[in-house]
C-alpha cells in the first residue's frame, strides 16, 4: 500500500420502549473472550514484557497513560466492528473498548494495593450487553488472561487516588476527540478522558502538534535549522495553533545562530508530554520479536496465496468487486479476521489511483489489473501487491512498464541490508525507474520521475499497515515493504500507448542479520511466473451462481 512520508450516540430510552430489539449495540470486540479461540495469539508474557520496556523508557518521576480506541459509528445505530488501538493492544492484549492503561515509573499505592507499576481499568461484565454484542473479560477475566498487576472496573478510574500532582511528567498520546458520550455509561471513553484531563490538569488548549513542534526545535533547532525552519513555516500556514505559539514563532524569527541558541534555551516548561510514548513505542514496534514475526509470516503467506488463487481465477469479464471478494474469501478460509486495510483492486485507469477503493468497475476487460491486498491475522497486517493482465498475457507496452518496475524492485531488494539508511531501497528503485522512463521517452528530465512514481518505496509493517518506527538505519527484525510503481493516467504528456498503464509490485521484507528475506515470495512476480500461474485451472472455474433477474 503506497506510503507518503510523513455525533452523539442516540439515547437508549426510546429504543428500550420499543422492546429492546432495536437497542443500539456497542461495537463488537475484535475477538470474543469465549472458548475455542485461536491458540497462536500473543502471550500475556509478551504484552507484559512490552509494558515493562515502555516503563523503563519513562523519565524518573513520571506516569504514562494510554486509552483504548473509541467505538466508531458507521450509520445510525450501527457501529463499525471494533478495532483496538494497536499501541493499546501491543501493551495489554485487551481487545475491548472503554479502557485505560496507566504505567508508573516508580511503584505506587492504588486502592490500597502497594507496589503497583501498572494498572488497567476495563469495562465490567454485563449480562444484557453480552447477550447483544458478545462476551466481556471483566476485571476477573482480565486479571486471569492478561495478567496485569492491578485491574479494576473502569468506573473506579476517576476515584482511584492516582497522585497526578506528584508526577514530574505525565506522558500520554493524542487524546481521542471522536469518543461519543453515552448517557447510560458514566465510565465510557468520553468520561475516562474527561476524568484524566481534569485530574491531570491537562490545559484545555493543550495541542499535541504544538508540543511536537517545540520538541523538534529542542532536538534539531541548532543543527538542522536549514530544514526545520522551512518545515515549521509550512506548518504555521496550515495549523493556527502553531502559528500562534510564541516559542515556535520566536524560533522562526531567529536569523542568526546566537538568536536560535537563545530561543532554544527558553523552551516552555510543561509536565504534559506526548513525545515520550510515541518515541518509545516507535522504537519497540520497529523491531519485531519472534512471536510477532510468526504472525506476520502467517498474514503474508495467506495474502500471497490469495494472489495466486485470484490470478488463476481472473477473466476479463469479471468485476473488480468480485475479484476483491475472492482475495478476502481466501483470508477468511485461513483464519485471518480482517483485511489490514481496504482492498485496492483497480483495472486500467483505476490502477493509476494510488488508494483506489471503490472497486466497482463491472468488467476489468484487458486492462492491467492492480491488486493491493493484505490479510490481517491476529492484528498483524500483510501488504502485498501484484499487477496482472486479465487476458493472461501482457501486451508489449504493458510488459515494458512491468519489467521496469520489477527491475526497480530488485534494486530495492538489494539495498535491504541492516545498517543501510531507511531510504536506501527507495533511492535504488527510483534510480532504476528514472533511467528507464528516460530511455523510453516517457520523461525528458530526471526530476519528472515523481510525475509517474509519486510515493515512497517502503514503510514498516506490523500491527498497523503503516507501522511506527524510527526511520533510522535498517535493523534486523524490522519488516518493511518494497513497492515501486509507475502510473501513467490518460492525458499524460507522453505517447498514448502508455496511457492507463498502472503497475505496482509490492513485497513484504524481513530484514535479517545477513540481508533480507522476502516473506511474500510465494506470490508470482516475474512476467513468466504471472502468465504461468494465470494459465492454471482455478478451483472456481466450475463454481456457478444462479443468475439474478
Q: Which candidate in 87, 339, 506, 507 is catalytic?
A: 506
Q: How far apart are CA 245 and CA 453, in angstroms?
A: 37
Count CB atoms within 10 A of the CB of residue 51. 22
Shared-domain flag, residues 158 and 302: no
Domain presence at residue 279? no
Domain presence at residue 122? yes
Shared-domain flag, residues 429 and 494: yes
Q: Which residues of the chain have pLDDT under 70?
A: 4-34
Shared-domain flag, residues 123 and 152: yes
Residues listed for the chain? 549
Q: How far apart are CA 516 and CA 62, in angstroms?
A: 39
pTM of the model: 0.91
Last residue of a domain, one of 200, 224, 246: 200
Active site residue 459: yes
Count CB atoms within 10 A of the CB of residue 509. 27
Q: How far apart are CA 513 and CA 250, in angstroms?
A: 45
Q: Which candidate in 50, 55, 327, 504 is catalytic?
A: 504
Report the alpha-carbon angle 504-505-508, nearest 5: 130
Model pLDDT, residue 249: 92
Active site residue 87: no
Shared-domain flag, residues 333 and 189: no
Shared-domain flag, residues 406 and 350: yes
Dmax (CA) for the chain in angstroms is: 78
152, 139 Cβ separation under 8 angstroms: yes
Q: How far apart are CA 538 and CA 547, in angstroms?
A: 21
Shared-domain flag, residues 232 and 327: no
Using a pLDDT cut of 70, give the percent of the chain over it: 94
Q: What is the mean pLDDT of the chain?
A: 93
Model pLDDT, residue 512: 98
Q: How far apart are CA 265 and CA 535, in angstroms?
A: 67
Model pLDDT, residue 162: 97
Last residue of a domain, one of 176, 200, 224: 200
Active site residue 483: yes
Model pLDDT, residue 375: 98
Helix (H) or strand (E) holding 430: helix 424-440
Report the alpha-carbon angle 208-211-216, nearest 5: 125
Active site residue 466: yes
In angstroms, what CA-CA distances link 470 with 17, 252, 295, 428?
A: 53, 26, 22, 20
Domain presence at residue 74? yes
219, 211 Cβ separation under 8 angstroms: no
Shared-domain flag, residues 390 and 514: yes
Which residues span the domain enclosing 249? Answer: 208-270
Active site residue 531: no
Question: Looking at residue 104, which CATH number applies to its domain?
Answer: 3.40.350.10
Judging by beta carbons within 10 Å of its beta carbon (0-12, 13-18, 19+), is residue 87 exposed, middle or buried? buried
Nearest Cα residue to 88 out of 75, 80, 97, 79:
97
Q: How far apart are CA 368 and CA 365, in angstroms?
A: 9
Domain presence at residue 115? yes
In angstroms, what CA-CA distances link 380 with 83, 231, 299, 532?
A: 12, 33, 7, 30
Helix (H) or strand (E) holding 414: helix 396-414
Residues in a beta bridge with 62? 169
Domain presence at residue 26? no
Shared-domain flag, residues 122 and 216: no
125, 156 Cβ separation under 8 angstroms: no
Grid coordinates representing 386 are: 501484484
Count CB atoms within 10 A of the CB of residue 164. 16
Q: Which candidate in 178, 355, 421, 450 is catalytic?
A: 355
Model pLDDT, residue 30: 55
Model pLDDT, residue 15: 31
Q: How far apart are CA 2 and CA 158, in angstroms?
A: 42
Q: How far apart are CA 179 and CA 191, in angstroms?
A: 9
Q: How far apart are CA 498 and CA 404, in angstroms?
A: 13
Model pLDDT, residue 1: 87
Domain presence at residue 25? no
Active site residue 487: yes
In the 8-state DSSP scheme, what is residue 173? Answer: P
Q: E-assigned strands of 123-215?
A: 150-153, 169-172
Distance of CA 465 to the CA centre of its chain: 4
Grid coordinates representing 147 are: 495478567
Domain presence at residue 435? yes
Shared-domain flag, residues 78 and 189: yes
Active site residue 455: yes
Domain presence at residue 192? yes
Phi, psi of 193 (to 5 degrees): -65, -40
Query: 40-67, pLDDT tens digit by residue?
Result: 999 999 999 999 999 999 999 999 999 9
Count CB atoms within 10 A of the CB of residue 353. 15
> Which residue blocks in 180-238 are alpha helix, DSSP H?
189-199, 208-220, 225-238
- Count of domains observed in the chain: 3
Give Cβ neighbours of residue 304 (< 8 Å, ≥ 6 apart): 384, 520, 521, 522, 523
Report the alpha-carbon angle 79-153-9, nearest 5: 25
Shared-domain flag, residues 149 and 227: no
Model pLDDT, residue 32: 54
Q: Which candidate in 483, 507, 508, 531 is catalytic?
A: 483
Shared-domain flag, residues 504 and 531: yes
Q: How far apart are CA 413 and CA 462, in angstroms?
A: 19
Active site residue 94: no
Model pLDDT, residue 329: 97
For strands 375-377 and 380-381, give the pairing.
Answer: antiparallel
Shared-domain flag, residues 382 and 506: yes
Active site residue 47: no
> Which residue blocks in 35-121 are alpha helix, DSSP H?
44-57, 86-92
Amino acid at each position: 500500500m503506497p506510503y507518503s512520508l510523513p455525533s452523539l450516540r442516540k439515547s437508549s430510552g426510546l429504543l428500550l420502549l420499543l422492546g429492546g430489539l432495536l437497542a443500539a449495540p456497542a461495537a463488537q470486540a475484535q475477538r470474543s473472550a469465549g472458548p475455542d479461540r485461536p491458540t497462536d495469539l500473543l502471550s500475556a508474557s509478551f504484552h507484559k514484557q512490552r509494558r515493562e520496556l515502555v516503563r523503563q523508557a519513562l523519565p524518573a518521576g513520571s506516569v504514562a497513560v494510554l486509552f483504548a480506541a473509541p467505538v466508531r459509528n458507521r450509520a445510525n445505530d450501527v457501529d463499525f466492528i471494533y478495532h483496538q488501538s494497536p499501541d493499546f493492544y501491543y501493551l495489554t492484549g485487551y481487545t475491548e473498548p472503554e479502557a485505560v492503561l496507566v504505567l508508573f515509573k516508580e511503584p505506587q499505592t492504588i486502592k490500597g494495593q502497594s507496589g503497583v507499576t501498572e494498572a488497567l481499568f476495563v469495562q465490567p461484565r454485563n449480562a444484557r450487553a453480552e447477550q447483544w454484542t458478545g462476551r466481556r473479560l471483566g476485571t476477573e477475566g482480565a486479571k486471569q488472561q492478561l495478567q496485569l498487576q492491578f485491574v479494576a472496573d473502569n468506573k473506579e478510574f476517576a476515584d482511584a487516588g492516582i497522585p497526578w500532582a506528584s508526577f514530574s511528567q505525565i506522558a500520554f498520546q493524542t487524546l481521542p476527540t471522536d469518543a461519543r458520550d453515552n448517557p447510560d455509561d458514566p465510565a465510557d471513553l468520553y468520561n475516562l478522558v474527561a476524568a484524566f484531563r481534569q485530574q491531570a490538569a491537562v490545559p484545555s488548549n493543550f495541542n499535541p502538534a504544538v508540543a511536537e513542534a517545540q520538541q523538534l526545535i529542542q532536538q534539531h533547532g541548532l543543527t538542522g535549522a536549514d530544514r526545520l525552519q522551512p518545515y515549521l513555516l509550512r506548518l504555521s500556514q496550515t495549523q493556527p495553533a502553531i502559528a500562534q505559539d510564541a516559542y515556535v514563532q520566536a524560533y522562526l524569527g531567529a536569523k542568526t545562530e546566537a538568536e536560535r541558541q537563545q530561543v532554544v534555551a527558553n523552551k516552555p516548561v510543561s509536565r504534559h508530554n506526548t513525545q515520550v510514548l510515541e518515541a518509545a513505542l516507535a522504537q519497540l514496534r520497529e523491531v519485531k520479536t519472534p512471536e510477532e514475526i510468526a504472525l506476520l509470516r502467517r498474514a503474508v503467506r495467506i495474502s500471497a496465496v490469495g494472489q495466486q488463487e485470484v490470478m488463476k481465477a481472473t477473466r476479463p469479464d469479471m468485476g473488480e468487486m468480485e475479484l476483491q471478494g475472492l482475495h478476502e474469501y481466501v483470508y477468511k478460509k485461513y483464519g485471518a479476521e480482517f483485511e489490514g486495510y481496504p482492498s485496492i483492486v483497480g483495472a486500467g485507469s483505476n490502477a493509476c489511483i494510488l488508494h483506489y477503493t471503490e472497486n466497482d468497475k463491472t468488467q476489468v476487460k484487458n486492462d492491467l489489473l492492480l491488486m493491493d491486498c493484505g490479510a490481517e491475522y491476529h492484528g498483524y497486517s500483510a501488504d502485498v501487491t501484484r499487477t496482472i493482465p486479465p487476458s493472461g498475457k501482457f501486451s508489449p507496452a504493458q510488459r515494458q512498464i512491468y519489467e521496469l518496475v520489477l527491475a526497480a524492485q530488485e534494486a530495492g531488494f538489494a539495498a535491504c541490508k541492516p545498517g543501510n539508511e531507511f531510504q536506501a531501497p527507495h533511492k535504488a528503485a527510483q534510480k532504476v525507474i528514472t533511467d528507464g522512463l528516460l530511455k523510453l521517452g516517457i520523461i525528458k528530465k530526471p526530476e519528472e520521475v515523481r510525475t509517474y512514481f509519486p510515493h515512497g518505496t517502503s514503510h514498516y509493517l506490523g500491527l498497523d499497515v503503516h507501522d511506527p518506527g524510527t526511520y533510522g538505519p535498517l535493523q534486523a527484525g524490522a519488516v518493511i515493504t518494497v513497492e515501486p510503481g509507475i502510473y501513467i493516467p490518460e492525458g499524460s504528456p507522453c505517447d498514448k500507448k502508455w496511457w492507463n498503464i498502472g503497475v505496482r509490485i509490492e513485497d513484504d521484507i524481513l530484514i535479517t542479520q545477513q540481508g533480507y528475506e522476502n516473506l511474500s515470495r510465494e506470490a508470482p512476480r516475474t512476467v513468466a511466473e504471472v502468465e504461468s500461474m494465470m494459465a492454471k485451472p482455478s478451483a472456481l472455474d466450475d463454481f456457478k451462481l444462479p443468475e439474478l433477474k
